[in-house]
Amino acid sequence: MPSRDTRPADKRRGPPPLLDIEQILTAALRLLDRDGAKAFNMRALAAELGASPMTIYNYVPTKMALITTTVDHVLAEIDLPSAAADRWDEELRRYARQAWEAQAPHPWIPTLLAEEHLVDRPMVKKSRRALLELFRAAGADDETSLEAIAAFFSFMIGSFVQVRLTAEGKVPARANILFLAGIDILIDGFRTRFSRSA
């Protein structure tokens, strides 16, 4: 009768799989949404990923670098406005709505951008350039275009920081309604100013 090996099976499964930056950013965004940028820490992120903090530092040099990379990751979902659009006002409305849908569920992002003056982030710079081209195409001179850009971002940031998410982490319907109404009013004002500067 053949003998059976009664030794306990080796339950070790080898080393854990390596992380990738996408996994790290996804987990970081989840914790940032839950705790905010000020309370965010690398130990909590490491625990979320089942890794050591030093493993994460192989991908990003500092906590702030990880936070700003996460911001860039979210902002990259937004399609920049195009000066080639048939109607500048509809293009601005489309861009504003997409920016709202991408950022409003993460209210810590616009707060961080404002508090840390992160105007040199790549996507922020690209947004400003794209808006300048859009407003020029609409007939505004450079001075008016720059004023409109400042007004637009002031409105956007002001709208974002007022968002109070529901218990389910959703943007309240009332906040969506007020935001869209505000964009319409802003566009009406831009239209008047652009016609004067043409």
Domain extent at residue 42? 21-73
Please give the share of the chain, as a percent, with pLDDT higher than 90: 71
Window from 11-15, 92-96, 171-175 with minimum mean pLDDT: 11-15
Q: Is 121 strand, coil or helix? A: coil
pLDDT at 157: 87
Decide if 84 contacts 179 (C-beta within 8 A): no
| pLDDT tens column, 54-83 | 999 999 999 999 999 999 999 999 999 999
Give every CB contact of residue 189 below 8 A, 6+ residues apart in sequence: 151
Per the domain annotation, does 11 fall within a domain? no
Closest CA to 63 of 135, 112, 101, 120: 112
Per-residue confidence at 121, pLDDT binned at 50, 70, 90? confident
Residue 84 and residue 151: Cα distance in Å, rounded? 22
Residues 94 and 48 in one domain: no
Cα torsion 141, 142, 148, 154 to 10°: value is -170
Residues 139 and 192 in one domain: yes
Q: Which of 73, 104, 137 is the last residue of a domain?
A: 73
Residue 10 and residue 166: Cα distance in Å, rounded? 48
Buried b (16+ CB within 10 A) or exposed e, 33-44: beeebeebebeb
Per-residue confidence at 112, pLDDT binned at 50, 70, 90? confident
| pLDDT tens column, 3-38 | 444 444 444 444 445 789 999 999 999 999 999 999
Q: How does DSSP assign 30-51, residue by residue? A: HHHHHH-TTT--HHHHHHHHTS
| Mean pLDDT to the nearest integer, 84-102 | 97
Mean pLDDT for the chain overall = 88
Please report, for the domain that includes residue 59, its CATH number: 1.10.10.60
pLDDT at 16: 47
Structure tokens at 116: 């840390």
Q: Which of 44, 73, 102 is the last residue of a domain?
A: 73
What domain count does the chain have?
A: 2
Per-residue confidence at 40, pLDDT binned at 50, 70, 90? very high
pLDDT at 17: 53
| Mean pLDDT to the nearest integer, 96-103 | 95
Residues 132 and 188 in one domain: yes
Residue 50 and residue 44: Cα distance in Å, rounded? 10
Decide if 103 contacts 53 (C-beta within 8 A): no
| Mean pLDDT to the nearest integer, 84-93 | 98
Look up the pTM and report it: 0.83
Residue 138 and residue 119: Cα distance in Å, rounded? 24
pLDDT at 119: 65
